Every structure is written in structure tokens, then in C-alpha cells.
Structure 1
Amino acid sequence: MAKMAASMAEGGEDAFRKIFKFYKRRNPPPDFSDVIDFSKRVPSDQVVPAALDPGGVSDVEAARVGLQPVRDWRAFGLQGYPGFMFISNPFMPGSQPSWVRQCLKIYPRKPNVCNLDMHMSPSDTQDIWDKSVHGLGCPPSGKTQPKTLLDRLRWVTLGYHYNWDTKTYSANHHTPFPADLHSLSSRIASACGFPGFNAEAGILNYYRSDSSLGIHVDESELDHSRPLLSFSFGTSAIFLLGGTRRQDPPTAMYMHSGDVMVMSGQSRLLYHAVPRIVAAPQGGPASETDSRGPASPLQEGSVVEPLSEQDRDACSRYTHSSRVNVTVRQVLGPGQSFPETPSSHQRTDAEQTEGRHDRPAEGERGKRRRSSSCDSVDTAET
């Protein structure tokens, strides 16, 4: 990667942008041999073991949110990226489908906010899953099917709702954060050495096969001392992690279904991007999003619930060709409060334009297919 970055850094364009374009390229396809795959058990000079705190989360607490015992997690860091941690799928076998169902069926519900609200009435977007699940559950017929609302879903915000126009959070644009996602996030954070993490804002991104996420930094939260957590479900993706400047060449890595990333300390404010959605490499981990259910009995008080046959089949069909990413943040530090802001949080037409770096965009084929309807709004991730 360093040799490729050096060769690409020549000229006027910054190194990150050149590597982003390299991995996004369709014809000819890029060489993925430099992409780090944490699911492989072979260490390298760049990949180092990361220390966890098994005592921070009991086995029972972990199981209640569908996680393996912390002592069994495979966690890594990267040389040159202090504060960055990659956990290779710590979920218990069979528990991922429950979280996928939450992302597709529960979290898009009101009062949470999604991109479809920009063009549709609240009554039309109240039951996105119920209005889409029949189309998801049907096997392909060979004919072009009309897009369901779930096909057109690009982003959902939770808790403190991110304002894409002003790039801010505010006290008067807030709804209750999902308790189950708070439990999952706090346990991951505690195991990584951040007890007391308070999940206050979440952004869910729904990636299709030709989606990408532009180069950006997550800096809108008022407290940067707490980590940013990222959960991936569904198809794999290439993630680029750079430095504090656009001129710093990034490191490429795979994100597979179930993988978790934690950005804290010096890595909390680094440039990053997702140039490409990809199939898992040959010999890589098989997706567990179509598992038939938890491999062991559910713990009392578990937030991981069995899925109905219909929900499981629909979730499996969705994740075979799409990806869901969930990022969770603590917005306010102890004693902090929001500055005074205007009460209006209406989004403008300008906010809905293409090419925003802080939210994923569709590929050119997707742009050509789209009409002026609600699926013209990009996905969102900050």
C-alpha cells in the first residue's frame, strides 16, 4: 500500500483522492492485493493485536446483545493509527440477522428520521418495512421490479438527529435513542476501555452495490474524547483510513459483515471513506446474516430476538446484495450543552444534491436510473 500510495501521490491531486478513485474504478477493476483482511489469522508488520478489557463486560452481558465472550474477540490495531481498533466479527453465530432486522424494520420507523421524509409525508414513510417486505421476500422473476421504499432508503438518524445542511446536532432535534442499540454500543465501548459510553446519536447508511462514501472527517460531536463506533452488516466493503490531512495516503481494509471499528484518541478525527462495495474475497468469511437463529439459548433479558420466517428471508435477500452500516456517537461530554440554535431544521433542495462527502452516493449507473422521486436523495454517514 505504501508503494502504491507513493506512486499515486505525484501530481496536483491529493493522495487520498487518488487512492479513493483507484478502488472505486470499475474498468479495469482495481488490484485488491494490498487491502488488509482482518478475518485472516496471519499477522503482518502493520497489523498488531489490540488489548481489550474482558472484565469490562461479563459473558452474560455480552450474550444479551448477541456478542461472544470478550476473551474470544479478535481485536487488532494498525501501526501508525493510535486509537484505532478493528474487531473481526465479535457476534455470536446466528445473532446478526436480529440486528439486520432492527436496521431494516424497526429503526426506520417514526419518530426517527430518514431520507424518504424529504419527499414523502410521515404517513407514507411510517411503515417502510411493511410496504416493502413482500417485494424483498419474492425471488427474482427476471423482470425489472419497481423499487420498494426499502430499496430507496439511504439513511436513518437516531437520537440527536444530524442536520446535513448545517453539519450540527441540536437539543431541539432529538428523539429517544433505541435502548437495544445503546446496550450493544455501551458493551462494545466498555470492552474497548471506554466504560460509561453514552450512545446519543446514530446514523444508519444503506449501501447498494454501486454506492460509495466520500472522504470526510467526523467532527460534529461536541466531545471528541469518546469513541466513534461502527457496525457493518451485509455485503463487504473497502474502507480507507487516512490521516489528519488530505495529502496523507490512506490504508485500505475490508469490512465484512459483523465487523466492528472503534475510532478514538488520535484516530477519532482522521479522514476516511468507503470507495467500493465488494464481494468477500475468495476464502473469506461467509456472511452470517442468513443464519437460521442463535446457536445457543437466548439469555434472560436478551435484546436479540428470533426472527419470523418471513423477516429472516427478507433480511437475507437484502443483505446478499446490500450493506447496512451503523455509526454510534456520544455527542456531549460531561457538563456540556448545545449552543443556542435556530428551531428550524428543514432541509433545503441544495442539501439533496449529489457529491456530498459526508454521505454515500450512488454510482453512475444508479444516477442514470433514478427519477426525480425520493430515491434521488443520497444515503448519509458522517
Structure 2
Amino acid sequence: MESKDDVMDYFKIDFKYYKQRASVPSYNDVLDFDDVDSVLRKASKVSLLESPSIKNMSDTKNWEAYHLNTVPGFYFIKNVLTREHQLYWARRSLCDFTRSPNVTNLDQFQAKESVDKMWENSESEFLTKSNFNIRESEIWAVRWATLGYHHNWNTRNYSKRHRSNVPDDLAAVSGNIANALGFEDYKAEASVVNFYHSNSSLCPHQDLSEVDLTYPLISISLGLDAIFLIGSDIKTEKPEALFIRSGDVVVMSGKSRTAYHALPRVMETTKMRLDDESDFLSCYLMNSRINLNVRQVESDKSVLPED
């Protein structure tokens, strides 16, 4: 009989391989949806349902959507956001989503009034300080912000008493993405905004806190390129590795909704055109990656328990 020690954690092996910095890993096995012909052995192009035109995203007729056949329910969508849309969402993430009533990783260490001014203070310092170093700026310390139902990182649960509103524009964009894939009446009830730097990573994990897991998790990438791993509900199966770039959207539904996934490596390159050296937002995005992910927490059939 096979012992526990004999079971190979292929997810961990691949995560450590792409994360390590001792040498540059080979990217030959990383799926690149910018080279569509190379991914069609594992992915199929899918048709999208027409959705109404809304602000802050492109029309669905411009999108390209693919289903990763080796990971049922996993979708990769290109051309959802133009450069202008990407800049809009990056500024919203940094300037607005880090402020009250939203919650950040810094709130337990300093006054919320101070956290609320971090973007403003950092941008002012960028414009006035001759020896400005972005890695020493206040905004550099922000790692995550939560909107809507605020995820408790200790208990891995949500609470009805700890909630703010998901901004209308973010709810509209995520709802449009869900509707285009056939997920009707999607409600954006929680969002985690992650801020990564070029030495950052996100360890293998599953997102299981939502009480109704039949609704998809929607993830929007901005800024630096990264390598994303997506597997199954067990780590003994080898995951797929793929490049995700600024403006790309991934959707985890069906079996992939509860799959292990991770971000082992943030690259030092970006597909996004950032050509204004006098702009602080461009400076930040040349050095960082932002991930906006949105979830529906409850449904009519499954609700959070009363506190």
C-alpha cells in the first residue's frame, strides 16, 4: 500500500520550481494565450453571450474566451479591458479601494485615517522628492484590501456584521463577465484586491469560504505579468501553468471553482503600455501587479449563518 510519504505533491513541486530565483526557470510548458495556436492543444475557443455595453470595459464582441479543457470550468478571457480601462481600475484599486469603509492589511497596525491617505501622500512625494524610491513609499506596504463581505483571514469565514458595499462599477463589470459565460443573476458580494510586487508570490490554496460555490470566482489582472498555476481539488495532480497579463480575466467555475491555485512568480515585464514617467500610477504599475477578484457569497438556497 502506498504510504503518505510516497505521495508526490506535484503542485508544490511546480510552485517551488517557478518561484525560485536561483536560476531562470524554463517557460516552455507555460501556456501563453498571446500565442493562441500554442494553447489550442489544451484549450478551446468558446462563444460568449452578448451582454449590454457598460462603462469601464470593452464590448463583449471584442473579447476572446477560451476554456481550459484539462481544468473543467476554467476560462481565460482576453481583450476585456483596454489600456484606458486598465488604468481606471488600477487607480480605483489603489486610490479608492484602499480607503474606508474597505479593510486593508494595515488597518490593525495604524489609524485608518492614515491608511486612507497613503495613495495621496505617496503620489505627492513622487512629484516633489528628487530621490523618490517607490519601495519606500507608504502605498508600497498595502498588500490587500477587502470590499463587500470582509474575509476574515484567521477564521476563513465571512460575517453578516462585517460588510460594506461592493462598488457599483466593479459589480457591473464582474456581472457582465459572468453573464457573458452564461452565469445569470450573478451578485458581486465580496472582493479581495491583492497588490503584488516583483518578489511576491501566493501559495497554493483553495477558495472555499463562500457558502454557495456554484457561482464563479472572477479575477482581473493589472500591471506586471505573472505565472498562474491551476490544478484540481488535490495537490497530487500536476497543475497547468499559464501566463496572465494586464487586462486578462480568468474565471473559475464548476470543478475549477474549488481547485488548488497559486501565483508562484510575478515577472518584471508588463504587456501594458506605460510611457509616462511623470505619472505615479504608471510608476507603480511598472513595479507591481494588482489582482481584483470578485465572488458571490450567498444565494437564495445557501446563506451565511447569523452571528
Other-structure match for 1:368: none
TM-aligned CA deviation for residue 195 of structure 1 = 1.9
Question: Where do 1:1-382 residues align within 5 Å?
Answer: 13-42=8-37, 43-54=39-50, 57-58=51-52, 60-61=53-54, 64-67=55-58, 69-137=59-127, 141=131, 147-280=136-269, 286-288=271-273, 290=274, 313-341=279-307
**Any unmatched runs of 5+ in structure 1?**
1-9, 293-308, 342-382
Contact 1:136 1:317 in 2 (8 A): no
Shift in alpha-carbon separation, 1:128–1:71, aligned structure 2, 3 A: same
Shift in alpha-carbon separation, 1:101–1:30, aligned structure 2, 3 A: same
Q: Percent identity?
A: 37
TM-aligned CA deviation for residue 24 of structure 1 = 0.6
Q: How large is the Cα RMSD of the aligned pairs? A: 2.1
TM-aligned CA deviation for residue 145 of structure 1 = 6.6
The C-alpha deviation readout for 1:250-302, integer Å capped at 9, x for no partner, is 0000010000001111111000000000144xxxx7314x378xxxxxxxxxx
Q: 1:204 is paired with a residue of what secondary structure? A: strand
TM-aligned CA deviation for residue 13 of structure 1 = 4.5
Shift in alpha-carbon separation, 1:17–1:146, aligned structure 2, 3 A: closer
TM-aligned CA deviation for residue 335 of structure 1 = 4.5
Distance 1:87 1:140 in 2: 41
Q: 2:241 is paired with a residue of what secondary structure? A: strand
Distance 1:39 1:145 in 2: 30
Q: 1:75 is paired with a residue of what secondary structure? A: strand
TM-aligned CA deviation for residue 81 of structure 1 = 1.4
TM-aligned CA deviation for residue 50 of structure 1 = 2.0
Q: Which amino acid aligns with 2:48?
A: L
TM-aligned CA deviation for residue 134 of structure 1 = 2.2
TM-score normalised according to structure 2 size: 0.92
Of 125-134 and 239-248, the range deviating more from structure 2: 125-134
Q: Which amino acid aligns with 1:164?
A: W
Distance 1:328 1:146 in 2: 28
Distance 1:97 1:314 in 2: 11
TM-score normalised according to structure 1 size: 0.75
Q: 1:118 is paired with a residue of what secondary structure? A: coil
- The aligned length equals 302
Distance 1:166 1:269 in 2: 18
TM-aligned CA deviation for residue 135 of structure 1 = 3.4
Shift in alpha-carbon separation, 1:139–1:30, aligned structure 2, 3 A: farther
Instruction: Kindly indicate which of the two structures has a greater share of residues assigned to strand.
Output: 2
Distance 1:189 1:231 in 2: 13
The C-alpha deviation readout for 1:110-135, integer Å capped at 9, x for no partner, is 01000110100122212221121123
Contact 1:113 1:156 in 2 (8 A): yes
Q: Which amino acid aligns with 1:147?
A: E
The C-alpha deviation readout for 1:149-190, integer Å capped at 9, x for no partner, is 210000000000000000000100001111111111111111
Q: Which amino acid aligns with 1:49?
A: K
Of 30-39 and 130-139, the range deviating more from structure 2: 130-139
Shift in alpha-carbon separation, 1:328–1:137, aligned structure 2, 3 A: farther
Distance 1:150 1:53 in 2: 39
Q: Which amino acid aligns with 1:92?
A: T
